[in-house]
Amino acid sequence: MPARTLKYIIVGVIAAAAVILLLFVYPRATVSNAQSVFPDVPDSHRNAFAIQKLKELGFISGYPDGTFQPDREVNRAEAVAIILKASGISAGNLPAELNFSDVHKEDWFYPMIRTGVALQKLKGYDDGTFRPQNPINLVEALTTTLSFYRVRTLNLDVEERIYTGLDREAWYAQRAQYAKNFNIIEPNDTGSVDPGALLTRGQLSEIIYRTHIVNKSNKPYDISRGWISSSNPGNFWKLNHPEGWNFFRGTMNSVLWKPAKNQAFFTRIFPTTAQVSISLIDNPADNTTANQYFAELKDTYNTAYGAENITYEQGTTNGYPSLRIRIPSQRMEDLVLRLPNAQYLVMYGQYGDSSLGDFLGKQISAILDSYEYVDQPEVIQLSLEERMERLRESILFESKADEILELFPDRRLIETDAIGIGTGPVDYYFSSEANHTIKVERNSKTILNIQAGETTKF
């Protein structure tokens, strides 16, 4: 067995100063083939997908001027109104005595708060106030949302380490554990979540939408929504992965890796890093079946790590015979597939030991789940000069990027501009062979320009 050498992002783009206070993170989900539902919520906004879906469901409507103001802090009254509507509870004439000194019958939010109090889902402060104009923080919003959606967490076991920043002894611990289990919240790049962080309207929308989906499906929210993809057609694979991961493409071996700050290469696993290495290997014997090969692999793993520490899942992945191997004690998850040509594709996943580890493990599982078989491209013998000419001819033509990028097999993604040119993210690829950087608008797959050298300054 080969030796193991072995963005997400802050939720919603707040103001630049606030970004320093990392709260919890969500990958940007692309709103594809759809017009933005609010003029101030571009498709590239971190919470655009959740906001669009809540608008389609009729849970939010925005302001009279047509805007949504996704990066504006949301106050407690606004939050209750949105959560109440999303949960399907009507603000009816429920009997309730509101003794809050700062909530009056003429207030627009009075019926919503009265309903929440009557259902015993809202409480005020010890001084007799509700503080409707105060901004709502993460755990308040999370608790209110789960409560209105009737999520039961009373008997939920709380881990020793939820995420850094979340106290397992705090009043919100079980709800935070539920939110972790079902991917309603995600940690930042260090594995931290700030329970007292003040939410924006976009961030609250993300929590409500994820809770709504989880409540309907009773399954964890799909964290791979909005991920980008990388491929190596020469090795028959395509995988989806978070935008912040790097991609090293080799002839027979490639690596997807989440780097630590200032980490130069993927050869070492740090506490907050992870990687998936992908290798194409020949069948050890032409007549070896998938079952025989998988049995041999199990023997190898059992000897190395102990059978009691391993779980195996043998079946198919995307229609191909596969063996999934999970070794939680080693923070490893692997996937081996037999390809139609009798070769094997071997994917080794591993992540560091930190508060971020559990979430990195979820990301690795989702990366492996995303496997797609791709055919090897037709070999076209073109000189570098001929390929560069094709590249130049393709500038500003939609849907040409994928085809042209394949002409430069050593290309690597060096940077992504999330805002781009207003139509979506812009990716910069550098080819050492060509000594050129290729600027690509991702959504339309358009090559915008090229520049000599490794640079993004064009």
As for how many domains the chain has, the answer is: 3
Residues 94 and 236 in one domain: no
CB 135 within 8 A of CB 199: yes
Please report the pLDDT score of residue 92 as a whole number. 67
The answer to whether residue 374 is domain-embedded is no
pLDDT at 25: 52
Q: Are residues 325 and 401 in the same domain?
A: no
pLDDT over threshold 60, residue 137: yes
| Strand pairing report for 320-327 and 426-431 | unpaired
Let me know how long the chain is. 458
Which of 195, 217, 239 terminates a domain? The answer is 217
Regarding whether 174 and 322 lie in a shared domain, the answer is no
Phi, psi of 402 (to 5 degrees): -60, -45
Confidence of residue 9 (pLDDT cuts 50, 70, 90): very low
For residues 87 and 46, state if they share a domain.
yes
Which residues lie below 8 Å from residue 202, measured CB to CB, with a gap of 6+?
Answer: 11, 12, 41, 45, 46, 47, 50, 51, 68, 70, 71
Of 259, 199, 258, the residue nearest 70 (C-alpha): 199
**Which pLDDT score, from 0 to 100, does residue 245 have?**
93
Last residue of a domain, one of 309, 334, 369: 369
Q: What Å distances lie between residue 323 and 143, 315, 334, 338, CA to CA?
A: 40, 7, 8, 9
Residue 245 lies in a domain: yes
pLDDT of the residue at 75: 96
One-letter amino acid of 30: T
Contact 372, 381 (CB under 8 A): no
Same domain, 39 and 84: yes
Token digits of residue 42? 């571009």
Q: How confident is the model at residue 379 (pLDDT cuts 50, 70, 90)?
A: low
Asked if pLDDT for residue 388 goes beyond 70, the answer is: yes
Residue 28 lies inside a defined structural domain of this protein: yes
Condensed to tens digits (0 to 9), the pLDDT of residues 13-56 reads: 223 223 223 345 555 555 544 456 899 999 889 899 999 999 99
Mean pLDDT over the full length of the chain: 88
CB contact set of 264 (below 8 Å; sequence gap of 6+): none
DSSP 8-state assignment for residue 100: -
Q: What was the pLDDT predicted at 93? A: 64
Q: Contact, 246 vs 260, CB < 8 A?
A: no
224 close to 156: Cβ distance less than 8 angstroms: no
pLDDT in tens, 311-326: 999 999 999 999 999 9
Under the banding of pLDDT at 50, 70 and 90, the label for residue 85 is very high
Same domain for 207 and 337, yes or no, is no
Q: Evaluate if residue 202 carries a pLDDT over 90.
A: yes
- Round to whole Å and give the CA distance between 66 and 57: 17
Domain check: are 276 and 415 in the same one?
no
**Structural domain boundaries enclosing 66:** 18-217
**How many C-beta atoms lie closer than 10 Å to residue 79's C-beta?**
24
The bridge status of strand 426-431 relative to strand 344-351 is: unpaired
Q: Is residue 135 part of a domain?
A: yes
Same-domain pairing of 444 and 396: yes
Of 28 and 194, the one with more pLDDT: 194
Res 8: pLDDT: 24
* pLDDT value of position 213: 97
CB neighbours of 451 closer than 8 A, spacing ≥ 6?
436, 437, 439, 457, 458
Q: What is the pLDDT of residue 330?
A: 96
pLDDT at 252: 87
Among residues 217, 237, 257, the one where a domain terminates is 217
> How far is the C-alpha of 120 from the C-alpha of 183, rounded, in Å?
26
What is the per-residue pLDDT for 14? 26
User: Quick one: 75 and 190 in the same domain?
Assistant: yes
Regarding whether 26 and 135 lie in a shared domain, the answer is: yes
| Confidence (pLDDT) at 285 | 73
Please indicate whether residue 411 or residue 419 has the higher confidence score (pLDDT): 411
Distance CA 179, CA 146 (A): 9
Instruction: Tell me the CATH number at 336.
Output: 3.40.1000.10
Mark whether 206 and 341 lie in a shared domain: no
The predicted pLDDT at position 410 comes to 83
Phi and psi dihedrals of 193, rounded to 5?
-135, 130
Contact 226, 29 (CB under 8 A): yes
CA pair distance 54, 66, nearest whole angstrom: 15
Q: Which residue has the higher pLDDT, 415 or 332?
A: 332
- The 10s digit of each residue's pLDDT in 250-305 is 888 999 999 988 887 888 899 999 999 999 998 877 678 999 999 999 999 999 99
Residue 150's alpha-carbon distances to 41, 73, 83, 200, 218, in angstroms, are 30, 25, 12, 24, 13
Q: Shortest CA distance to 271 belongs to which of 166, 184, 193, 359?
A: 359
pLDDT on residue 412: 85
Per-residue pLDDT at 98 exceeds 80 = yes
Q: What is the DSSP letter of 277?
A: E
